[in-house]
Amino acid sequence: MIVKTDKDREGMRAASKVVKAALDAAAAFIRPGVTTLDIDAVVEEAIRKAGGTPSSKGFHGYPNASCISVNDVVVHGIPSLQTVKSGDIVSVDITVLLNGYQGDAARTFAVGDVAEADLRLIKAAEAAFYAGMEYVKAGNRVGDVSSAIQLYSEINGYGVVRALTGHGIGHNMHEPPEVPNFGKKHAGPVLQNGLCIAVEPMITRGDWRVQVARDGWTTRTVDGSNAAHYENTVIVGSDGPEILTL
Ligand code: MF3
Ligand code: CO
Ligand code: CO
């Protein structure tokens, strides 16, 4: 969506606020011993309490309100009776529909005592997002953002997942353009003023290759390395980004 009216801008902000509230609820709840289904229940309650709807539920048959991806699961982990334990890193990805507008964001959380290298991985995913933000400005191109994310990640020794990308967002969860986390400077579609995008680096401590499990969703690194995910919904402005899901 290209935001043109105050109504659209406020709509995107409001949906994004609900996403943030649900992420905060998950962050406060996650501890060793809880199941990923328990986390999902907390997320769904927070979304509904705020008057929103979890967009992922029923999306191409996806069963839950959140995607919860532990350790080597990069994205689209299906909540289950698996308990999280000290040392795990847990990615929570939430999309909310509120009044016809979508917000989408993800964070990776450390549970208990986590290895230094995994804590660095989590921080690097966030920093890669902000490396991309340096180029989010009307008139720049998607490839400027993509290449900045890739460069930051690879310079720091991480694999950049290619099979999944960021995306436009608005009345639908996924809209054009695709916003890859890899690419070439000065390439791709021009970022228009008011364009809403979800920017979401997915990086690994090893190789970038991933495979989807037989459930059709759970996406793991092929080499078994741990992965982190950091996503926000953003509006492109003439002077820079407005990040909505902080
Ligand atoms: N939130 C995911 C994204 O960032 C999409 C999840 S779709 C689901 O694009 F069906 F897996 F939930
Ligand atoms: Co998401
Ligand atoms: Co997304």
- Using one digit for the tens of pLDDT, what is the confidence trace for 111-139? 999 999 999 999 999 999 999 999 999 99
Average pLDDT over residues 193-199: 99
Nearest CA to ligand 1 atom 7: 56
**pLDDT confidence tier of residue 207, bands split at 50, 70 and 90:** very high
What does the mean pLDDT of the chain come to? 98
Q: What is the pTM of this model?
A: 0.98
What mean pLDDT comes out for the span 7-12?
Answer: 98
| Alpha-carbon gap, residue 228 to 28, rounded angstroms | 19
The pLDDT assigned to 158 comes to 99
Residue 218: CB within 6 Å of ligand 1? no
Q: Does ligand 1 lie within 6 Å of residue 175's CB atom?
A: no
Ligand 1: does its nearest atom lie under 6 Å from the Cβ of 91?
Answer: no
Q: What is the mean pLDDT of residues 158-187?
A: 98
Write out pLDDT tens, residues 73-95: 999 999 999 999 999 999 999 99
What type of residue is 210?
A: V
- pLDDT, tens digit (0-9, with 9 covering 90-100), for 27-47: 999 999 999 999 999 999 999
Q: What is the pLDDT of residue 150?
A: 99
Confidence of residue 188 (pLDDT cuts 50, 70, 90): very high
For ligand 1, whether the C-beta of 230 sits within 6 Å is: no
Which residue out of 40, 53, 75 has the highest number of ligand 1 atoms within 8 Å of its CB and is therefore the one to mutate?
A: 75
Sheet arrangement for strand 202-204: 159-160, 202-204, 227-229
Q: Is the CB of 40 under 6 A from ligand 1?
A: no
Q: Using 50, 70 and 90 to split pLDDT, how confident is the model at 5? A: very high
Q: What is the pLDDT of residue 211?
A: 98
Distance between Cα 37 and ligand 3 center (Å): 21
- C-alpha 158/C-alpha 183 separation (Å) is 15
The percent of residues above 70 in pLDDT, for the chain, comes to 100
Report DSSP state, residue 70. E
Give the per-residue pLDDT at 195. Answer: 99
- Where helices occur in the chain by DSSP H, the ranges are 6-29, 36-49, 116-133, 142-155
Question: What percent of the chain shows pLDDT beyond 90?
Answer: 100
Q: What burial class does residue 147 get, using C-beta atoms within 10 Å of its C-beta: 0-12 exposed, 13-18 middle, 19+ buried?
A: buried
Neighbours of 116 (CB within 10 A): 7
> Which residue has tokens 């008057």?
51
**Residue 108 beta carbon below 6 angstroms from any ligand 1 atom:** no
Which pLDDT score, from 0 to 100, does residue 95 have? 99
Alpha-carbon distance of 102 to 240, in angstroms, equals 21
Cβ of residue 93 lying under 6 Å from some atom of ligand 1 = yes
Mean pLDDT score, 213-218: 98
Which residue matches tokens 């460069």?
A: 151
Measure 166 CA to ligand 2 centroid, in angstroms: 8
Atom from ligand 1 closest to the CA of residue 200:
4
In the chain, which ranges are E strands? Answer: 53-54, 66-70, 73-75, 89-98, 101-110, 159-160, 166-168, 175-179, 196-199, 202-204, 210-212, 219-221, 227-229, 232-236, 241-243
- 94 alpha carbon to ligand 2 midpoint, in Å? 6
